[in-house]
Amino acid sequence: MNRILLSVIAALLLIVGPLWWQVDRQAGMITKVSVQRDAATARADSLRTTLRLQRELNADLSELDRKHTEGLSHANAELEELRGRVGDGSERLLVKASCPAAGMSATTGASGVDDAGTAELHPAARQDYFALRGQLTRTEAALAGLQAYVSTVCRYESRTEYQ
């Protein structure tokens, strides 16, 4: 009986040993796959967050572009309207100036000579005025747009640093 018992124990060990080894190997594989799954899930979450932030940034930048383009269009329309009013004579471009008479000292009073009128831009200089004013408008709009872009991008970068 002792011999039969030993034979049964030996047979059980021969059956249970490989099964135990297989179970241990499968447990290691499950652990490895779980770690890979967790890493892939974290990466997917990070990509989703990055995509969401990128969409928010694109929306912010589109709104900035729309706002500043609209402002530039409005300023250009005002300039063209002014050009039209000056062109048809309903408005004049005046220059603030003082023209002291040549040869008169500052202590000598005016001897009844009236100002000849208000100083006005020469018609040939009007186009230069409008060109300079248009350039100033475009420069101011571009500067405002760039400043808004920088503040938006910096705000975006500060949001992503802590994600």
Q: Using alpha carbons only, give the angle 146, 150, 154 rounded to the nearest 5 degrees.
A: 170
Structure tokens at 126: 């009007």
DSSP string, 29-94: HHHHHHHHHHHHHHHHHHHHHHHHHHHHHHHHHHHHHHHHHHHHHHHHHHHHHHHHHHHHTSS--B
Confidence of residue 34 (pLDDT cuts 50, 70, 90): very high
Element (DSSP H or E) covering residue 112 = none
Per-residue confidence (pLDDT) for residue 43, from 0 to 100: 96
- How does DSSP classify residue 113? P
For residue 63, tell me if it sits in a domain.
yes
For residue 64, tell me if it sits in a domain.
yes
Is residue 116 scored above 80 in pLDDT?
no
Which backbone phi and psi does 120 adopt, to 5 degrees? -135, 150
Say how many domains are in the chain.
1
- Per the prediction, the chain carries an average pLDDT of 82
Q: Using alpha carbons only, give the angle 157, 63, 72 rounded to the nearest 5 degrees.
A: 120
Residue with tokens 């500043």: 68
Domain that holds residue 89: 49-97+118-163
Per-residue confidence (pLDDT) for residue 158, from 0 to 100: 65
For residue 154, tell me if it sits in a domain.
yes
pLDDT of 138-160, one tens digit each? 999 889 888 888 888 777 666 65
pLDDT of 47-103, one tens digit each? 999 999 889 888 988 998 899 899 889 988 998 998 899 889 898 877 766 665 555
Is residue 6 scored above 90 in pLDDT?
no
